[in-house]
Amino acid sequence: MPLPYLRSAVPLVLVIAGIVIGRLAFAWMRYRERRMVSCPENLRPAGVQVDAVHAAATGLLDTPQLRLSECSRWPERAECGQECLAQIEAAPKDCRVRSILADWYAGKVCASCGRPFGEVKWNAVKPALRTADKVTVEWEQVAVAALPETLKTALPVCFACHMASTLVREHPELAIDRLGRTSG
């Protein structure tokens, strides 16, 4: 009777399914973030996105095969050989935009309130940048390819100061100075 064999196979199937799903999720999580590479063609920064689904699927039994799903130099250079992938394979964490920014914020203080940046939390309370024209922006608003040049002149701003600056800029009629007068 096949029923006892089936009952003993179910836990094994569940364990194998868990391992497969775990490996897929790990590979997808590892490659899903935006990255900055040096384009081998012109040696300038380029913003790229790895095809995380492809990397996860091909990495199930072996080393993931990487390919780009987006590049800041596309569509003009869409037929490139994607040699920049070697940089991601060699140092996957170093190319991540979040890693680059975390290193940049390390040891700095907010340019507005002077509070030091601790470990950057990338959830809802992300720090921002004050650009050379004195406007605060979220780092996602900066093109990845422009990130190195922007970081040379930008100042770090905490989430609270960025939100206050944005509120004053977008709704000056709601801002009140310390003496209680409206600014609008």
Q: Which of 111, 143, 144 is nearest to 127 (CA)?
A: 111
User: On the CB side of 83, how many CA atoms lie within 13 Å of its CA?
Assistant: 9
Confidence of residue 184 (pLDDT cuts 50, 70, 90): very low
pLDDT higher than 70, residue 177: no
Distance between CA atoms of residues 173 and 87, nearest Å: 49
Distance between CA atoms of residues 20 and 81, nearest Å: 31
Distance between CA atoms of residues 165 and 109, nearest Å: 17
User: What's CA 34's distance to the chain center, in Å?
Assistant: 5
Query: SS3 for 84?
Result: coil
pTM of the model: 0.74
Give the percent of the chain with pLDDT over 70.
92
Distance between CA atoms of residues 142 and 116, nearest Å: 23
- Higher confidence at residue 8 or residue 1? 8
**pLDDT value for 30:** 79
**pLDDT value for 73:** 92
Amino acid identity for residue 63 in this structure: T
Of 22-31, 55-64, 128-137, 169-178, which has the strongest mean pLDDT?
A: 128-137
- Higher confidence at residue 59 or residue 154? 154
Contact 88, 95 (CB under 8 A): yes
* Exposure b/e, 131-145, CB count within 10 A at least 16 = b: beeeebbebeebebb
Q: What is the mean pLDDT of the chain?
A: 85
Contact 141, 164 (CB under 8 A): no
Q: Which of 83, 184, 101 is nearest to 150 (CA)?
A: 101
Residue with tokens 């003009």: 76
pLDDT higher than 90, residue 61: no
